[in-house]
Structure 1
Amino acid sequence: MPRGRRLDLYAAGAAVLLVTTAVLVGRHIQGTSRTLFVNWPPLMASWEPHLGPGTPMAVLVAIATVAYGPGLAARLPWRALVPLTWGTAMAWIYSLALIDGWHRGIAVRLTTRQEYLQVIDRFQDIPAALRGFTGHILLGSPGHWPAHVAGHPPAAPLTFVLLDRVGLGGGGWAGVWCVTVGATACAAVLITVRALADEDLARRTAPFLVLAPAAVWMGTSADAYFAAVAAWAVALLALAVTGRSLWWAGASGLLFGLTCYLSYGLTLVALIAAAVLVLGRHGVRGRPALLVPLLAGLAVVPTAFTLAGFNWWEAYQLLVTRYYQGAGGVRPYGYWVWANLACTVLITGLATAAGLRRTGAVLVRRRGDAPARTAETRLALLVSAALLALLVADLSGMSKAETERIWLPFALWLLPACAFLTRPQAPGSARAGETPVRAWLTAQALLPLLLNHLLLTGW
């Protein structure tokens, strides 16, 4: 076995060891002090082996993607590959969710007592609700918001309020919205990799984006929707800095502004955006005119919410207090600061662990074909920026548990590291290196199938 593949297996083995340790230590802590507030640490889940109507479809999507995904990704025209990646990812997410059935898997996920749909009636007067939003964040305040509403800026609940206003009310439509929009994040990542690195690396990434274990929590979680908005903000910025159009810069700024008003923690997406600015072939220094539409777009959503009476910074400070009023003040930092990383393994898979090892190798490599090395280095830097954002979120202590859904917007940007797991052995060879790719894809597919059939996840 080549040394590189042996090291890949060591990286995957280390990831397995991390998850196993998190499970065993977590079960001990939860069994003795019950301070983790999760039933199956490190995940918010319960042990409940089961089958469901989504089982056959999930197995079929997995087999088809493993068997045909690498070949199709190499041969299809680009304009066909992007929507196919989105559609197949969406089928994967829906099929995994339907293992729990339509009702339990999709329709009621966003209607539970801590979720966004609980507050629809309190937004009858939207301007008044926004003006008084911060007055209901703290526990003990009159009519305090449910946990997820209090934990996010008002663009998050307002999304579901607006869906209700246009006739798409209820948990079913909310779930469909999150899955359908969330799956587009795969297309956004694909477009970004092509713009900043090259098309070959993007094509090699596509099957891994489709079979991402994160799909378990993208159906149905509002964080999937947040991940898609953030991913498209990055993708449009990548198109802007690589010379497509200044209009992309304005659209990117608009989505970055919305991202910050969907989740406080997603301000860390700025680290990925900074990497995009550095990696752009022209960059802001070469095209300073990009800054005008970018900053103008970025100002739109914050200005609108501020004029409506919502103070983002005040709300965030109150959220920190609320967080420590609840489980955040009890959950031990000493466990979650590394167990969160075990959750990351479970949402990105063993292939990504091996891919991250290769990412590091790319960054230290000094030899090889210059164009290919440059493209791979660009991709490695993009992945590293996402990893940095995730680590900052981890060290902040504001993400103790439940990171299997909270970190979806960062985790999706780690998956392109899987493109490094194979390199074509000859120019134009579509099948070169497909055997190890299929092995890694099989590992990626088996993980979410096992998780969703053995556990009842919280999202």
Structure 2
Amino acid sequence: MQIGRREAAAVIIGLVLVVAAFVVPHLHLGIVTPLIKSTAAQIHSFADTAPIFGWWNAHVGWGTVPAVVIAAAAVWWGPTLAQRVPWRALPVTAWAVSGAWAFSLAMIDGWQRGFAGRLTAAHEYLNQVPTITDIPEALRTFSSRIPGHQPDSWITHVSGHPPGALLTFVWLDRLGLSGGAWAGLLCLLVGSSAAAAIVVAARVLTDEATARRVAPFVAVAPTAIWIAVSADGYYAGVAAWGITLLALAVHGRHRILCSGAAGLLLGWGIFLNYGLVLMALPALAVLVTAPDWRAALRVLVPAAVTALAVVAVFLAAGFWWFDGYTLVQQRYWGGIAANRPFQYWSWANLASVVCAIGLGSVAGIGRIFDAAAIRRQPGLRLVLIAALVSILFADLSMLSKAETERIWLPFTVWLTAAGAFLPPRSARLWLAVNVIGALVLNHVILTNW
């Protein structure tokens, strides 16, 4: 089977990035390294397996056999099953497989270390939840507690995100679903639902045949390693459904309902993660696919109104997004970010993206920049290009240095769909490359997330 020049070029670039990112830290090239001005212990803790955040630890676990079985079944039967299953069942099937795949990968590290204990670490949200006894007061004082080096400063992850993230876990606790297992389950279920959202969006934006080719790639994507479990998996699911609902509003029947719901989710998203403001680019890509500017405007207005309503609610509660964003930058640059040189992370971040989406999806990215195909069927291609541009903006902002395999999940889950644009005769091969890469990475590196 012959590999096309575009796929080959994309894969070669991806491989060079990954190999260089793993090798360069051991060459002692001054500031072209993951961490400077740090002790050996700090380098071990924060840059042991750069560009991936984790530690070298070859291991197997309870999830090894299920993960291998799911991977093999997805490669052997996935593309065929995706063509035969009734359409109504396909998004749900993709979601179920994605959830099972993510959970099995997490269980390679064990129940406590890989799942239930992930969100209970000292820097995670759940450690802050017991201190929230008055939610209105927490919102009123949220910005004032972002700066570090004061007795009541928020812990790392709470300070680095808008209050919606913390509120989610506080509400979960108030419902009686406290602890790391329930929080992990929320992130797993919402995060893996992104697979269903992308399948639906692919059909709406392009056609059903494309959506069926998308399904196997998003169902067993390597991004699942960080979806189970990190809060960013939850953010990715929320953002994915926001974009999908916007696509349904542009090309479906229930325009006002879907556009309002899209605005609600995307508006909520920017209060989960400051970086989700960049989802405006994929949203714009969706609007560009509208039949004309009037149709786009009829979708944009309800979406904007509901998104601004979310902003207004938080403002009324005492939190102004731009204040939080400014203070987060100050705390970020006062912390470990100052010791993570941009000379390394500016390109090593992209190597972590390759690891997160898999070389099979990288091969697919090599085929999305086809001017004739974009003119013929712009939908999904434009959204994927917008996701790529969003990543480049995030990278150049210097506000995402390291840990981007987790932080950029809202964008990378879309890039996994690029496999749909590969020639059908090679799709199974590239799908195998993706799952093998995920299995190797998860068994060789003990990821921090």
Q: How would you bin the TM-score normalised by the shorter chain?
A: over 0.9
Q: One-letter code of the match for 1:267?
A: V
Deviation at 1:225, TM superposition (A): 0.3
CA distance in 2 between partners of 1:138 and 1:192 (Å): 39
1:158 paired to 2:173? no
**Does the CA-based 8 Å contact 1:136-1:142 persist in structure 2?**
no
1:257 corresponds to: 267
**Does the CA-based 8 Å contact 1:26-1:42 persist in structure 2?**
no
1:187 corresponds to: 196
| Pairing partner for 1:276 from 286, 295, 300 | 286
Deviation at 1:290, TM superposition (A): 2.8
Deviation at 1:32, TM superposition (A): 7.7
- Structure 1 window deviating more from structure 2 (13-22 vs 49-58): it is 13-22
- Partner SS state of residue 55, structure 2: strand
**Does the CA-based 8 Å contact 2:34-2:341 persist in structure 1?**
no
What CA deviation, in whole Å up to 9, does each residue of 1:302-321 have, x standing for no partner? 11111111121111100000
1:428 corresponds to: none
1:94 corresponds to: 103
Give the unaligned 5+ runs of structure 2: 28-32
CA distance in 2 between partners of 1:175 and 1:307 (Å): 30
1:107 paired to 2:95? no
Deviation at 1:143, TM superposition (A): 1.6
1:343 paired to 2:345? no
1:116 paired to 2:133? no
**Does the CA-based 8 Å contact 1:27-1:41 persist in structure 2?**
no
Q: How does 1:51-450 map to 2 (within 5 A)?
A: 51-245=60-254, 246-280=256-290, 282=291, 284-286=293-295, 288-360=297-369, 362-363=370-371, 365=372, 374-375=376-377, 377-423=378-424, 433=425, 436-450=426-440
Deviation at 1:383, TM superposition (A): 1.0
Deviation at 1:352, TM superposition (A): 1.5
- Partner SS state of residue 4, structure 2: helix
Q: One-letter code of the match for 2:442?
A: N
- Partner SS state of residue 450, structure 1: helix
Deviation at 1:288, TM superposition (A): 3.7
What CA deviation, in whole Å up to 9, does each residue of 1:323-363 have, x standing for no partner? 00101122101110000000000000101111111112x22
- Structure 1 window deviating more from structure 2 (136-145 vs 442-451): it is 136-145
| Pairing partner for 2:53 from 40, 44, 48 | 44
2:12 corresponds to: 13
Change beyond 3 A, Cα 1:11–1:168: same
1:458 corresponds to: 448
CA distance in 1 between partners of 2:34 and 2:302 (Å): 50
What CA deviation, in whole Å up to 9, does each residue of 1:268-312 have, x standing for no partner? 0000000000013x3552364334421221122211111111121
2:30 corresponds to: none
- Partner SS state of residue 46, structure 1: strand
**Does the CA-based 8 Å contact 2:287-2:296 persist in structure 1?**
no
**Does the CA-based 8 Å contact 1:205-1:416 persist in structure 2?**
yes
**Does the CA-based 8 Å contact 2:105-2:225 persist in structure 1?**
yes
**Does the CA-based 8 Å contact 1:277-1:283 persist in structure 2?**
no
2:25 corresponds to: 26
What CA deviation, in whole Å up to 9, does each residue of 1:409-429 have, x standing for no partner? 011111221111124xxxxxx
What CA deviation, in whole Å up to 9, does each residue of 1:112-140 have, x standing for no partner? 11100011122110000111111111111
Q: One-letter code of the match for 1:416?
A: A
Deviation at 1:247, TM superposition (A): 0.4
CA distance in 2 between partners of 1:244 and 1:283 (Å): 16
Deviation at 1:7, TM superposition (A): 4.1
**Does the CA-based 8 Å contact 2:249-2:259 persist in structure 1?**
yes
CA distance in 1 between partners of 2:142 and 2:394 (Å): 25
CA distance in 1 between partners of 2:346 and 2:166 (Å): 29
**Does the CA-based 8 Å contact 1:237-1:276 persist in structure 2?**
yes
CA distance in 1 between partners of 2:100 and 2:50 (Å): 28
CA distance in 1 between partners of 2:166 and 2:26 (Å): 34
- Tell me the TM-score normalised to structure 1 length: 0.92
Deviation at 1:14, TM superposition (A): 2.3
- Tell me the TM-score normalised to structure 2 length: 0.94
Aligned length: 438
What CA deviation, in whole Å up to 9, does each residue of 1:169-219 have, x standing for no partner? 000100011001110011111111111111111111110001111111111
Give the unaligned 5+ runs of structure 1: 367-371, 424-432
User: Percent identity between the aligned chains?
Assistant: 46
CA distance in 1 between partners of 2:14 and 2:420 (Å): 18
Deviation at 1:87, TM superposition (A): 0.1
Deviation at 1:109, TM superposition (A): 0.6
Deviation at 1:243, TM superposition (A): 3.3
Deviation at 1:33, TM superposition (A): 5.5
